[in-house]
Structure 1
Amino acid sequence: MTETPQPARVRAESDPAVPPEGPGAPRARAEIDLGALRANVRALRARVAPHAQVMAVVKADAYGHGAVRCARAAQQAGATWLGTATPHEALALRAAGIGGRLLCWLWTPGDPWAEGIETDLDMSVSGLWALREVEDAARAVGRPARVQLKADTGLGRNGCQPADWPALVAAALDAQERGLVRVTGLWSHLACADEPGHPSIGRQLDVFRQLVGYAEKEGVEPEVRHVANSPATLTLPEAHFDLVRTGIAVYGVSPAPEIGTPAGLGLRPVMTLSASVALVKEAPEGHGVSYGHHYVTDRATTLGLVPLGYADGIPRHASGRGPVLVGGKVRTVAGRVAMDQFVVDLGGDRVEPGTRAVLFGPGDRGEPTAEDWARAADTIAYEIVTRIGSRVPRVYLNEDPDGDADGEGASAG
């Protein structure tokens, strides 16, 4: 039975940890509910077999949510592995004091393999060139590297082609015999797990089993075998193996509308993005709004200026379509999204400067969701949350895990 994350507590404006609304409020903020993140991890753990471990993927600054704090929260909730794409992301976590098992998979020639060995990373290897660089680094450091061999079972991106797999396995076993590496895992990635029933899923799982079987027959004894991302974790129990890699689901966003809504999956969105209305003014009928005058008022109205733009990660493709909750009503972006700001037509309503405009959040207080913005911008919700830029401060709620039961504990940072 999965645990449904509960809303963060409603906080009084006098709460010192919460940016105020009205005069003195910040230009914009992204609230990150770490209590929801922990509950999401627990809900995902409940979906997998007891022997299968859960990895929380915190690449791309934890999909825009803040890697260090999200990594800590995920570990507090029982994630036994963390995952990043680049080694620099992984090394930054280590520098911040994040311990535990940490897999990093997107390496390029000349990357800091030695530092990865010294900080106990598990490092993915997809080709012989990478294995050679790992061996050189292990000799220099004087200790073996932990490596995981990645197979391309049909995605066509990173990973070793099946035809080249025997050579990679043989070379890795030779390096292991010489004390330079220890093969800790065998893994791959699915192309269409977010499309339930897609024929490639079964084909890829078959290839993965064959390649794992070959490696094990040759003498590889992996700690973990893994192929499941968030959608596979939610819909494909046969893909769970020893470890599941949960990325977007950790942050309470559905991997795809076809799989279900966050609430239907037992998840709660972690990020709420909002800004303080910077200006409210009256405009006559026929007044052009923003660049190109793609929006012209059809009556006398009021316009509200929201100080967020594409420099902050608001998609320009959502011009004229993006939904925003202002003054108790969902409005639509009027005209083009500019670099630093956009306008909403308030329809004659008066709101005060400093009123909170909520672009997206969990959706249970009437605000739009990241999925609503994804539809407006013809993209996916992954991109909506990940692209929110560093100019928008993150405010962390429910950072203390002891407050999970009653929603207590908010901190700003």
Structure 2
Amino acid sequence: ALKAEAAGRVRVAGVMSHFACADEPGHPSVAAQFGAFTGMVEFAEKAGARFEVRHLSNSAATLTAPEARFDLVRPGIAVYGLTPVPALGTFGLRPAMTLVADAALVKRVPAGSGVSYGHTYHTERDTTLALVPAGYGDGIPRHGSNLLQVLAGGRRRTIAGRVCMDQFVIDLGDDPLSPGDEVVLFGPGDRGEPTAQEWADALGTISYEIVTRIGSRVPRAYPGGAL
């Protein structure tokens, strides 16, 4: 790189690497990578490199390893307001993303009604079902069928039956809900809705997957901004 810079072909502006296990505080690789990075920077500077920026830390390292912040940090999941290390708490972060949909259809059905593909859910009594227009084509995990919860009508409801490509169903019992009423799939939890971390825990995955899988056909709104 220094030879190319001397030849006028590039400008060496910075140096970076990336932690493999920063979300596991105390993992021996964190100290090993930190040592390797600082050693390499020292070696390169002795060889004539003049770095404008040095950066190594992702969200987890930014919050748990202040010695590794150098000149820049690269927060990813923390920008969503989600903790990169759930075992250590929230670090004061607040979830920034809320996923909502409006109920498309509400109807009364008798006991014993099969719901959605495969009829993996049957109503135990006469009840009210609501159709929510969001499915695995939008990033709602299909393996969250009969498992994930949403907030509708002021209460949490478990998805009833299989998540379809474009929709899923919830069982309201005798509670009222009208077409057009908002259903909160996940958010910061202020109103009692599930959080992305709760969805991740239920599915045995990480919150990163939950928030980044939401597809481009889902409209975005940025309160307070015009992005």
Same fold, TM exceeding 0.5?
yes
1:344 matched to 2:170 = yes
More helix by share: 1
In 2, the alpha carbon distance for the partners of 1:239 and 1:334 equals: 46
- Pick the aligned partner of 1:235 from 23, 45, 64: 64
1:309 matched to 2:139 = no
- Pick the aligned partner of 2:148 from 312, 318, 322: 322
3-state SS of the aligned residue for 2:184? Answer: strand
> Aligned residues, how many?
227
In 2, the alpha carbon distance for the partners of 1:334 and 1:198 equals: 41
3-state SS of the aligned residue for 1:298? Answer: coil
In 2, the alpha carbon distance for the partners of 1:320 and 1:202 equals: 43
In 1, the alpha carbon distance for the partners of 2:58 and 2:180 equals: 41
3-state SS of the aligned residue for 1:222? Answer: coil
For 1:290, the equivalent position in structure 2 comes to 116
For 2:83, the equivalent position in structure 1 comes to 254
- Pick the aligned partner of 1:205 from 34, 39, 42: 34
Give a deviation string over 1:158-193, Cα, whole Å, max 9, x none.
xxxxxxxxxxxxxx1100101111111111100111
- Aligned AA for 2:124? D
- Aligned AA for 1:357? V
> TM-score, normalising length from structure 1?
0.53
1:363 matched to 2:189 = yes
For 1:173, the equivalent position in structure 2 comes to 2
The 5 A counterparts of 1:15-164 are none
In 2, the alpha carbon distance for the partners of 1:375 and 1:257 equals: 10
- Aligned AA for 2:67? E
**Structure 2 unaligned regions, length at least 5:** none
Give a deviation string over 1:80-102, Cα, whole Å, max 9, x none.
xxxxxxxxxxxxxxxxxxxxxxx
For 1:127, the equivalent position in structure 2 comes to none
In 2, the alpha carbon distance for the partners of 1:293 and 1:234 equals: 46
Measured after TM superposition, the shift of residue 250 of structure 1 is 1.3
Give a deviation string over 1:212-235, Cα, whole Å, max 9, x none.
121111111111111100010011
In 2, the alpha carbon distance for the partners of 1:397 and 1:229 equals: 26
In 1, the alpha carbon distance for the partners of 2:38 and 2:60 equals: 19
In 2, the alpha carbon distance for the partners of 1:316 and 1:378 equals: 14
Give a deviation string over 1:134-181, Cα, whole Å, max 9, x none.
xxxxxxxxxxxxxxxxxxxxxxxxxxxxxxxxxxxxxx1100101111
Give a deviation string over 1:272-330, Cα, whole Å, max 9, x none.
11011011111222211111111111222111110000111111111111110000001
For 2:95, the equivalent position in structure 1 comes to 269
* Contact in 2 for aligned 1:194/1:258 (Cα 8 Å): no
Give a deviation string over 1:95-135, Cα, whole Å, max 9, x none.
xxxxxxxxxxxxxxxxxxxxxxxxxxxxxxxxxxxxxxxxx
Give a deviation string over 1:192-225, Cα, whole Å, max 9, x none.
1111111111111111112112111111111111
- Pick the aligned partner of 2:105 from 263, 279, 287: 279
- Aligned AA for 1:228? S
For 2:74, the equivalent position in structure 1 comes to 245
Moved more, 373-382 or 198-207: 373-382
- Aligned AA for 2:148? G
3-state SS of the aligned residue for 1:227? Answer: strand
- Aligned AA for 2:43? Y
* Contact in 2 for aligned 1:196/1:259 (Cα 8 Å): no
For 1:407, the equivalent position in structure 2 comes to none
In 2, the alpha carbon distance for the partners of 1:301 and 1:200 equals: 54
Which structure exhibits the higher relative contact order, with contacts defined as CA atoms closer than 8 Å and separated by 6 or more residues?
1
> TM-score, normalising length from structure 2?
0.96
Give a deviation string over 1:361-413, Cα, whole Å, max 9, x none.
111121111111112332211111111111111112111xxxxxxxxxxx5x7
**Structure 1 unaligned regions, length at least 5:** 1-171, 400-410
The alignment yields a C-alpha RMSD, in angstroms, of 1.3
Identity, % of aligned positions: 64
In 2, the alpha carbon distance for the partners of 1:316 and 1:211 equals: 45
Measured after TM superposition, the shift of residue 248 of structure 1 is 1.3
For 2:21, the equivalent position in structure 1 comes to 192
The 5 A counterparts of 1:208-227 are 208-227=37-56
